[in-house]
Amino acid sequence: MVTVYDVPAEKLILKVAEKLKSVDAIQPPEWAEFVKTGRHTEKAPTQEDWWYTRSAAILRKLYVKGPMGSSRLAAEYGGYADKGSMPNKACKGSRNIARKCMMQLEKAGYLVSIEKQGRGISPSGMSLLDNTAKEVYDEMKA
């Protein structure tokens, strides 16, 4: 049985993002085209569908690393802030983006809330990722 661990993350995330576009519960907010993804970035994302890609990446990350909250997820998507002549400093990504994505994925039924641990992946989320991983694996073998 093919799982998420058997295929490259980039190909899986792009394929899951395409599937998430057809889900009504997952829609980018109106501010999504203007917002930066963290203090460490200089500009907003240039991709039109970056919200779906981030949602798919969050879904995969929760599959691989287990239940976590928005603060820890923001740290996963952080980077280094350019402080000019001073040494660069690590900083977190946007907690609002992580929180809104997780809320939408939970509303769609792909995540479940786990008390005192944050959100974890639900059985339907696992099956979505595993089935997509199988499709990606078959495409790679062909």
pLDDT more than 70, % of the chain: 100
Mean pLDDT confidence for 108-116: 95
Residues 23, 107: contact at Cβ < 8 Å? no
In single-letter form, the type of residue at position 36 comes to: K
Confidence of residue 142 (pLDDT cuts 50, 70, 90): confident
Asked whether the CA dihedral 14, 63, 25, 36 is positive or negative, the reply is negative
Note the pTM of the prediction, 2 decimals: 0.93
- Listed in sequence order, the DSSP H helices in the chain are 9-20, 50-65, 70-76, 95-108, 123-141
Domains annotated for the chain, with CATH where assigned, are 4-141 (1.10.10.10)
69 pLDDT above the threshold of 90: yes
User: pLDDT digits over 31-54, tens only?
Assistant: 999 999 999 998 989 999 999 999
> What's the confidence (pLDDT) of residue 64?
96
130 pLDDT above the threshold of 90: yes
